[in-house]
Amino acid sequence: MRSSDGHVFVLALPFVVVAVFAAMAWVDRRRGVNAGPGFFARNGWPVGLFLLLAVTLWALFMIVLPQLFMVEMSFRPKLPPAAMGGARDVYTLENYQYFLFGSTTSTASWNATHLNAFWRTILASILVTAGNFAFCYPLAFYMAQVAGAARVRLLLLLLIAPYWLNEILRAFAFRVILGTSGVLNKLLFGAGLIDAPVDFLGMDVGLYAGLSYAYLLLMIFPLYNAIESLDGRLIEAARDLGAPWWRIHKDIVIPFAKPGIGSGCTLVFMLTSGALAAPLVLGGPRSLWFTPIVYDRFYQAFNWPQGSAYAFILLLTCIAFVMAVLKLGRLNLGEITR
């Protein structure tokens, strides 16, 4: 298949899917399934039409099509503009091959730099997610079940206020704190605990701290929501039956909050593995995070097809990982989006 046909296919795909679903809904309605008032009957023609068009166009042009074109692009070779659409513009796996072997032609040796960065990114994202959970769970539990309303409002304010700053500024704040001549080093030095500055940034402390902090709220809120809806009497009932505190969390709170935990961890994991600002600002000289590599494919190497392939690999791996974990936790997507 030539890539110009591919463009047509990609462009048509979402419309076909939408049309098929619309047809299915129409058939169901004809058969009398779900016999409530129709969408247009409920909203009126003008509003209904506007909603339908707005949502469809937004979803198609802002979300679906760009992604699909990225996927499509990842299967094409890097060509000078003149050669596009020419004889060499055919679908190929060379961008994926490059990720694995560091060359578009040979498979002799692994692409160690990129593969290492990739696995490090996944592993570090898992650790950051776990750390985030460990920090947020007690806090969310405290806010949802223990603290009074005034205390909760104060905590929420403290949690949210720093996020009024943008992500880059927050990342730089960590540099200011953790740099070799930063606040923390000065404090430790002043207290006589160290006699030479510690290179926290080189040790990636800054990177992990920044990454953990960046998506804290996305862990807190799903957890808080889930634990909030737990009837405090269940906790008391478990205690009354003799359960010590850790058992109450293991048997009652965590199983109950599982959907919230699932969505919080999914969000944090996906966003951490795809984070760009924190790794760029806080990554030490030796640390290689995967997203800057993807970024470089686009803007340093000007190799958009390869960049797309890299981004797509990261996305697919993360999705597969999240799905596997959800499956292990016997959660389905419907539950975590509640």
Which residues are near other proteins by CB under 8 A? 231, 233-234, 236-244, 247, 251-252, 255-256
Q: Which of 292-321 are b and which e, b meaning 16 or more Cβ less than 10 Å from the residue's Cβ?
A: bbbbebeeeeebbbbbbbbbbbbbebbeeb
Report which DSSP code applies to 89. -
Q: Provide, rounded to whole angstroms, the least separation between the CB of residue 238 and other proteins.
A: 7
The residue (of 162 and 232) whose beta carbon lies closer to other proteins is 232
Q: Provide, rounded to whole angstroms, the least separation between the CB of residue 230 and other proteins.
A: 10
Q: Provide, rounded to whole angstroms, the least separation between the CB of residue 241 and other proteins.
A: 4
Q: Provide, rounded to whole angstroms, the least separation between the CB of residue 235 and other proteins.
A: 9
Q: How far is CA 239 from the centre of its chain?
A: 37
The residue (of 103 and 229) whose beta carbon lies closer to other proteins is 229
Name residue 239's amino acid: R
Alpha-helical (H) ranges within 191-253 are 205-214, 216-228, 232-240, 245-248
Q: Provide, rounded to whole angstroms, the least separation between the CB of residue 145 and other proteins.
A: 14
- For residue 290 the two structure tokens come to 């995967």
The residue (of 18 and 252) whose beta carbon lies closer to other proteins is 252
The residue (of 81 and 148) whose beta carbon lies closer to other proteins is 148
When computed from its CA atoms, the radius of gyration of the chain, rounded to whole angstroms, is 25
Q: Which of 56-91 are b and which e, b meaning 16 or more Cβ less than 10 Å from the residue's Cβ?
A: eeeebeeebbeebebbbbbbbbbeeeeeeeeeebee
The residue (of 4 and 332) whose beta carbon lies closer to other proteins is 332
Name residue 77's amino acid: P
